[in-house]
Structures are given as structure tokens and as C-alpha cells.
Amino acid sequence: MSILRDPPDARLLHAAREGDSDAFGVFYLRHRDPLTRFCARRVGTPEAVADLVAETFATALEVLHGPRPPKIDDAAGWLFGMARNKIADTYRRGAVDDRARQRIGMERLDLQPDEAERILDLAEPGDAVRVAAGLPEDQRRAIYGRIVAQDTYEELSAELGVPESTVRKRVSRALTTIKTRLTETHA
């Protein structure tokens, strides 16, 4: 790869658009596990997770090489937003869409037992998730929406039926509680 060491995502995606396949490989490796974790916490089987991750990256490649590539300021948000849409489509259709993979000629993965285990390990809730589960319902919903689902405060305000400032307070209180409890646990 002909770009800087540990380049920002935007630079990687620009280089990938210009034909540097190594750049997209670096982007893929950087985001594969977080995206897998994200999908694994939303769908039931390792196979569906692997399909969603593959389809999301295939779609990213298609969009990058499309006639009107997006201006990407937040590459992770862009990628996870695509994954959220793919997950929603999966629930509506009852199956993972594989059209983007087919269009770019990507074969369906035969998931090996060790790969399925890795996906399940990524899906395991950590200490922060366990602490968050014990939060009051209003804070739990706010923190899930903002941190996990990556909804904007405006979207959460509309969804929860409370002012945006209230959503911000709930998220702030939830994060403070999680930090405090984790500090106490690991002290």
C-alpha cells in the first residue's frame, strides 16, 4: 500500500476508490471485528452475522466504485449505517440479502467452526453491557439508542417522545454510572 502508516479511514477509502486494493484491505481489517460484534448482537446465528458483514463490505465496495461516490467524513459511521440498513432489511425479508456480493462476484462463505466461535465470542456482552443492563429503563433505552444503534440525539428525542436535552442527560447519566460501576468493579 502506498499511503501513510495507520492512515485515516477517509484516506484509505479514497485510495481504494483510486484502485489501491490494499487500502480497502486495511479498512476491512480495521473494521471487521467491530462490525461483526455490532451485527452479532442483533442477529441470531453466526452464519447470518458472517453474511451481513460480507454483504456490508461488498456494498461499501460497490458504493465506492459507483458513479457518484459519497463524500465520507465518518467512515465508521457510514459503514455501520449500511450495516444497520442491512440488518433492518434482513428482519423484513427474513433472510440476509446477498445481491451486492453476487454483483461483485463474492462467493458465499462456508463458515468453519472456529470462525463461528470467533463470532460468538465477539457477541458476548462485556462488563459494560452487563452494567448497562442494570440501568433504569429510560437511561438504558437512551444509551442503547445512542451508543449501540448510533442514533442521533434528534432521532432518539423523536423516538422516545422527550426533548433532546432530556435524551442527552439520560445518556450522560448512564455513561457516568457505567464508568463508576466499572471503576468500582476493577479497583
103 lies in some domain: yes
Please tell me whether residues 85 and 144 are part of one structural domain.
Answer: no
Q: What is the 3-state secondary structure (H, E, C) of 44-105?
A: CCHHHHHHHHHHHHHHHHHHHCCCCCCCCCCHHHHHHHHHHHHHHHHHHHCCCCCHHHHHHC
pTM, rounded to two decimals? 0.58
Could you tell me what percent of the chain has a pLDDT over 70?
86
Q: What is the DSSP string of 92-113?
A: HHSS---HHHHHHTPPPP---H
Whether 3 shows a pLDDT value over 60: the answer reads no
Q: What CATH number did the domain enclosing 131 receive?
A: 1.10.10.10
54-96: pLDDT as tens digits: 999 999 999 988 888 777 888 888 999 999 999 888 878 777 8
Please tell me whether residues 90 and 14 are part of one structural domain.
Answer: yes
Q: What is the pLDDT of residue 147?
A: 76
3 lies in some domain: no
- Distance of alpha carbon 2 from alpha carbon 163, whole angstroms: 48
149-166: pLDDT as tens digits: 778 889 888 888 999 999
Q: What CATH number did the domain enclosing 77 receive?
A: 1.10.1740.10
User: Average pLDDT, stretch 97-124?
Assistant: 72
Which range marks the domain in which residue 41 is found? 9-123
Whether 12 shows a pLDDT value over 80: the answer reads yes
